[in-house]
Structure 1
Amino acid sequence: MDFTECYGDTVSSLAVAARDRNVRLLRSLIRRGCDVDSRDNRGWNALHEAAAAGHAVCARDLLKAAAGSSQGCRAYVLSLTHEGESALYLAARRGHLVVVKLLLKAHADVNQQTNDLSSPLYAAVDGGYTELVELFVRKGAEVNGTHTASSWTCLHQAAYKGHGDIVRILVGVCRLEVYDDHRITPLFVAAQYGRRHCLQVLADAGACVCVCACILKVFCEFTLRPWCSEDVFVPSVVGASVNAQAADLATPLLIAAQEGHRGCVELLLDHGADPNLSCSDSWPQLPVHAAAEFGHEAILARLAALTDRSCDRGEGRVSPLYSAAKNDHGCCVALLLSAGFSPDGQDCSSYFGSACTSPLCCTLATGNGDPTWTFSDSARLLIAAGATLTGEAWAWILAACDSDVLQYVLRHRSFPGPERPSGVMSHHLSPEQWSRRLSPEELSGLMCKVFDMVCHASYWLPSLLGAGLEPSLLLAEPNVLEDMDSEGVNYFLEFVNWSTLSPPLKDILDRQKELITWGPLINLGPCIHSIWAEVRVDKTCKRMMLSTDGLDLGNSLSL
C-alpha cells in the first residue's frame, strides 16, 4: 500500500489543527476529549503532524494531553507511522530544532529506525542540519550504524551531500574506514562527487590517525618492551585511507580522475594517493587511463607525469593512448604523444578484443563500416606521430573505401625509393624524413591487404600509384587483374609497359576482353607508352620538388 499519500477523510480534526498550527482549535478539541492518538490512512496522529509542521506549542499540548491518558506520554512519543517514522524522525527530517529538543525531553528514542533503516540522525545529516547533528551526537545517537539497503552510514551520506561541517563533526566520533556493500568508503564518495571540503576533512583525519598510531607504536616499543618478556600488543587504529579500494578495485584517485574533479585529484595526490595502483581485476587500469578515457586534459597531464612509464609499452600493461584514442579525445592523444608515450603502445587484444593490436588499430576499428564513420582526429595524430602501419591497420584504412583517408596516410608516409649504399642518404632528405618511409614490414602488410581488397581498387589504386608504389609489386599476384574492375585495370596499365606484360597476364586481359569485363582504352598509336612515360616523369618531378620525401622515383616506373 501507498502510505505516503494522505486521504483527507481519514484525518482527525485534532491532526488537522496540529498541521495548521491552530493552537486555539487544538486546545479546544483536547478539552472536548478528542483522541490524541487517532490515526489517518498513513498511521499519522496529531503529534506526527505537529512534529512535521515544526510547531512546538502544539506538540507540547499534545504531550501533556497524552500524559493524562491511559497509554501515557512515553508510549505516545514513541508511536510510529505505517512507514515506521516517529515524531522525532519527522521533526529531524525537516530541521525543526525546538520540536526535536521537546521530544527528546519527553524521552523520544534517538536511535529509532524507520522501515527503510533511516534514523533521526541520518535524516538530520541528509538535510544538512548541523545543530541537530551535534545535538543527536551529544544525546548518544548511534553514529556507525547503516541506514540504507546499500549499507551507507551517516558519514557516507554527509560526504555525498557535501556537508563539510557535519563531516567534521562525525569524523571525531565515527569510524573512518567504514564500507558499504560495494566496499566504498566515505572518502571514496567525497572523491566521486567532487566534495573537496569533505575530502579534505576525511583525508586530514585519516592522516592524523595514522600519525597518532605511529607515535603510539613507537612509544609502546621503547617504553614498555624492556618490562615485557613478550611482544607488545599495539591496537590497530584505522583511518581514512586515500588508497582504500572498492570491491571492483577502484580507488578514490581513479574515480576523481574519471569524474574530472581536478581539485580532488590534487588533494589525494598531496595525501599520498598512489597513481600506480591497479584499479581493475580485468585489465591493468590506472587513474591515468580514466583521465584519458573521459577527456580530462589537465588531470591527464598531472597523472601522466607521475605514472610509471612501464604502462607505455610494457608487456601485460596498457598504454593510456588506447583509452584516449578509442574515445577520440584528440587533445588527450596529443598530450600523451608530446609527453613521450609511444604511438604504438602494445598489443592489447587479449584485454579489449582482436582489433586492439595498437592504439591506431583501435581507433580505426571504432565504428569502421558504419555509414557515419569518419577518420578521427586521434587516428590522424597517431599516423602523423609515426605509428606503425601494421597489416591490421592497413586493413582498416583500405576498408574505409575513402581515398581521402589513404591520401592523408600517404602524406605522412612514403614508399621506399631505390636502394642506396649503407649509411648514404639523399642530400634532399633529413634523417627524420627518411625515417618516415614505410618499413619492409609495413610495405609487406600493405601488399597483403591490397590483394585481399582488389574489388575496391578504384578507391586505393590511384592514391598508391600516384604516391610512388612500384607497379611491379602488384604484378606479383597475377589474379589481381582478374578481380579488378575495368577502370582500375586501365588506370593500372597506364603505369606499366603493356608490351612487357608476361604471357599469363596477357591471357587474363584477353579473357576479360572476350567476356566484356574489361575494355581497353582507345588505341592512341604506337607512341602511347612514351607519352604516358613523359607525363608520369613530369608528375614525379613535381612531386619530388613539393614533397618532403623527394625520393628519386624515376627508376620505379616500368617503362
Structure 2
Amino acid sequence: MGQGISCRTGDENGFFSAVQFGDLETVQALLERDPTLVRQGTVYDRQSALHIAAANGQIEIVSMLLDRSVNPDCLNRHKQSPLMLAAMHGKISCVHKLIQAGANILMFDSLHGRTCLHHAAYYGHSDCLEAILSAARSSHVSLSWGFARFVNIRDGKGATPLHLAARQRRPACVHVLLDNGALVCASTGGYGFPGSTPLHLAARGGSLDCIRELLAWGADRLQRDASGRIPYAVALKRKHVACAALLNPSSAEPLVWPSPLKFISELNHDAKALLEQALMEANREKEKNILKGTAYSQPSPSHSDAGIDDNVSEASDTELCCICFDQVCTIEVQDCGHQMCAQCTLALCCHNKPNPTTACLNAPVCPFCRSTIAQLVVAKVKVVTDIDRDMYSSKLRRSRKSRNLSEGSSSFKGLSAVGSFGKMGARGSGRIATENDCIDKPFDP
C-alpha cells in the first residue's frame, strides 16, 4: 500500500484536496483565511488534514500543521491516528516527524484493535517498523510497558505484529521483529485459526522466506494449533509443496541463531550481519537436499580442486581461516585476538537447537586458546604475502584430501563457501559436536 488515502469532500475551498496533493502554498493561504480548517475533518471518515498529509507522505504539510500545534494524536472515524496511517502507507519521513512530535505509539484503533506497529508489520514496511521500535526502546514505553511487551503487543484478535507479518508474507518485517525480541512460538487467539503460531501462518501464506526466518530463530515445527495441526499439515493442505518440505518434521533441523548467548546479543551491526548471512547460507545448503525433486531444487556447485584454486586466488591477498582453509577470516575473538571465518564461528555457537526452558547457554571457547568467548567483532583484514600463498593453497589441498579420505577427521568437516557445517574434534580446538548431538540430529518434541 504505497498510495495514500484519497480525499473526496464537498468543501468548496478545496482545502483537503490541496493537502492531499501537497500544495503547500494553497494550504497556507486557506489557513490564513480560516484557521479553524485544521480542526475540521472529511464528511464520512472524519480524516483531519494531518491524517491526509501523513497518509500521502506530504512531509512539508505535516511539519507545517505540527508547527501550528495540531494534535499529533487526533483520531479519525476508526480511532486511527496520523501515525497509524503513515505506518500503514509506508511514509517513513512522516513516521519520523510524528514520533518526533510526540505521537503516541501505544494507541489502538477501533477497527481491529491494532497499533502503528501492527499496521507497519501487516503492510510490510520494515523501515517504519524499525523507526517505531527504536522510538519504543528510547521512550517512556520501554520503562512503563517494557520493550519486550511492546514488541509482542496483541491486537483485538490476539495477533502480534509477528503473526501479521508472517501471514502477509513480509520476511523483512519478520526479521526485524525477531531481531527485536518477538516471540517466535506465540499462539494467536481469534486471528486466523485459533492457536496458530507465526510458523502456522507463514505455512498458510506459503512464504518460504518467512519460514526460513522463523526456523532460523528457533520456531518449533512440532507445535500444534487448537485443532492439533502442525505447520507441516497446514502447508500440505494449502498445497505449498516447498514449504511443506522444509516444515516436514523428518527433514534436517536448520541451524538456529544462538540468541541466548550474551555475546551474540551484544554484537555490533557489522559483525551481526556477517554471522546472519553465514547462517542463512548454511541453511540454504541444507535446503538443497530437502528440496530435491521439487520445483524449487537448485543444482549444487561443484567442489573440485580447480574450484578450490580459484577460491585461493580470489582471496590470495587476505588470510584464510585456519580451521576450514576455505573462507577469509572475518570474525575476531576478543580479547585474545584469534580470527575465524563467519561459518566456523557459527559452528561454535549453533551446534544445538536452543532449549526454550534454558535461560542461557554455556559460552563457547576460542578454538585456538580455549579462553571463553566474551565478545566478537569484525576482523581487521590481514594481508598475506606472496611467500605465504603457496602455503595456504597447499594446506587447503591437504585439508580437503584428508577430509575426503577419512570421515573421522578431528577438524571441521565440510566447512565450505556455502556454509556446510560439520564437527570439530578435541585437538586444540574445543568441542563443537559429538556423534550424538551433531547439527542434523532430529529435534525431540
TM-score with structure 1 setting the length: 0.40
TM-score with structure 2 setting the length: 0.49
Is the radius of gyration larger for structure 1 or structure 2?
A: 1
Higher normalized helix content (fraction of residues):
1
Q: Which has the higher contact order (CA 8 A, sep 6+)?
A: 2
